[in-house]
Amino acid sequence: MHRAGVAAAAVGGAFVAAIAALLLFQGNPGWMYDAKVYREGAQAVLSGHDLYANLHRAGFTYTPFAALAFVPLAPLSTSVVGVLSTTVSMVCLELSIWLCMGWIGILRDRLRVGITAAACLAAIWLDPVSSTLLLGQVNLILMLLVLFDCWLPDGNRWKGIGVGVAASIKLLPAFFILYFLVTRRLRAAAMAAATFAGTVAVGFIALPKDSITYWGGKVLDSSRVGDPQNPRSQSLQSLLVRWLHTTQDIRPAWLVLSLAIVIAALTLAVWANRNGDQLLATCTCAAATLLIAPITWQHHWVWVVPLLLWLARQAWRLQSRLLWIAAALVLLEFYVRPYQWIPVDQVADLRLDPWQLALSSTYALSAILLLAATGRAMWRQGRLALIPLEHR
């Protein structure tokens, strides 16, 4: 197949999807909600206003460097921003799936193109992907940066830059620096850390006051992002707040459990990496970042797309009915959006009954189950290695 033609078709399809989204959803109150925040942050940079003065309803919650990166959006109308954001995000989704196809062993061009196209059509209806596209979020762009960085050969001199840039927009991709370290990709870890440090330096040079505000304490203020009890947030902190029915005194438990998740995820990622399963290692790290974040909105869970591809590969390879059921349940969960039946209420969301608590926790519980299942597989392999071959 001619790769130039495939690339042109991918970009063309993304653009058509963007135009369709504009026509269908521009009247939706959520249309480009976050993209407007990006644009207003960029406009604040150009006008010299305080970047963190809540110019928009949601306020700008990203790094000063992110505001600089969004400057090209400043003069654009919402419609143009919508088409541009949707097109770029769709292309990033296509490329992410294409990379995952290679990781799971689908290398023949025609088959890879066909499955990528089908997976894209299925993925755009998943809650995190559709929410990202509706809001104009950057999650699919950041996911591609991380996936591409992990996909690059270890000897590549540019490996690490993608993680560093992703962390400069939203901090949590910096977790993959730890992944590079524990898997002994020291050059990539150094490159990612240097890239991130460089973006911080650029922020201080271009926006010194805003950088002092952000890195001087604003970065640690998770309340600027939203209320942890909101059922649309499924971080570990949000689960603790809702299940314990309080926002008070949960920080020690959250920090201890988060540390346990970090250690477990990195241990499992090292094991998966040693077994040659790069996609599982990457998904394990992504699951950890989603759990340990103070707030994890529904659109952050775009990493379910690589996870579903990995589950499908494993189910097919092992001919496992259990894994097919698991993949179907995850797919159904992210189509159905169980949390949608829980109204957002600052007081009532601290008084949910057990059924409501379950509905508002499914995404996080799926991530925890992924870590648990991977841990069980690691434990079983370790036990098997201790048994002599003649007794297996």
Res 55 pLDDT > 60: no
**Is residue 24 pLDDT above 70, yes or no?**
yes
Per-residue pLDDT, 25: 85
What residue has token string 């991530």?
A: 367
The proportion of the chain whose per-residue pLDDT surpasses 70, expressed as a percent, equals: 95
- Give burial (CB, 10 Å; 0-12/13-18/19+) of 121: exposed
Rounded mean pLDDT of 195-216?
96
**Model confidence over 207-226: pLDDT tens digits?**
999 999 999 988 888 888 88
User: Would you state the pLDDT for residue 110?
Assistant: 86
Q: Which residue has the higher pLDDT, 15 or 352?
A: 352
Q: Which residue's structure tokens are 């996080």? A: 364
pTM score, whole prediction? 0.94
Mean pLDDT for 162-177 is 97
**Residue 17 pLDDT exceeds 90:** no
Helix, strand, or coil (residue 297): strand
The set of residues, in sequence order, having a beta carbon less than 8 Å from that of 290 and lying 6+ positions away, is: 234, 235, 296, 300, 301, 303, 363, 364, 367
Look at residue 391 and tell me whether its pLDDT is greater than 60. Answer: no
pLDDT tier for residue 337 given thresholds of 50, 70 and 90:
very high
Q: What is the mean pLDDT of residues 14-35?
A: 86
**C-alpha span between 131 and 124 (Å, rounded):** 9
Q: Quick one: what percent of the chain has pLDDT higher than 90? A: 77
pLDDT, averaged across the chain: 91
Q: Which position has the higher pLDDT, 363 or 48?
A: 363
Average pLDDT, stretch 194-204? 98
pLDDT for the residue 392: 44
6 pLDDT above the threshold of 80: no
Can you give the pLDDT at residue 206? 96
Q: What is the pLDDT of residues 228-279, one digit of tens each?
A: 999 999 999 999 999 999 999 999 999 999 999 999 999 999 999 999 999 9
Mean pLDDT of 55-69: 83
Instruction: Choose among 300, 329, 289: nearest CA to 312.
Output: 329
pLDDT(390) > 80: no
pLDDT at residue number 160:
97
- Asked whether residue 100 carries a pLDDT value surpassing 50, the answer given is yes
* Domain residue ranges in the chain: 221-372
Provide the pLDDT confidence category of residue 74 given band limits of 50, 70 and 90. very high
Identify the band that residue 1 occupies on the pLDDT scale cut at 50, 70 and 90: low
One-letter identity of residue 157: R
Helix then strand then coil, in percent of the chain rounded to 5, is 75, 0, 25
**How many degrees, rounded to 5, is the angle at CA 257 between CA 187 and CA 186?**
5
pLDDT bucket at 313, cuts 50 / 70 / 90: very high
pLDDT value at 383 more than 80: no
Cα separation, 64 vs 203, in Å, equals 5
Determine the pLDDT at residue 58: 64
**What CA–CA distance (Å, rounded) separates 70 from 186?**
31
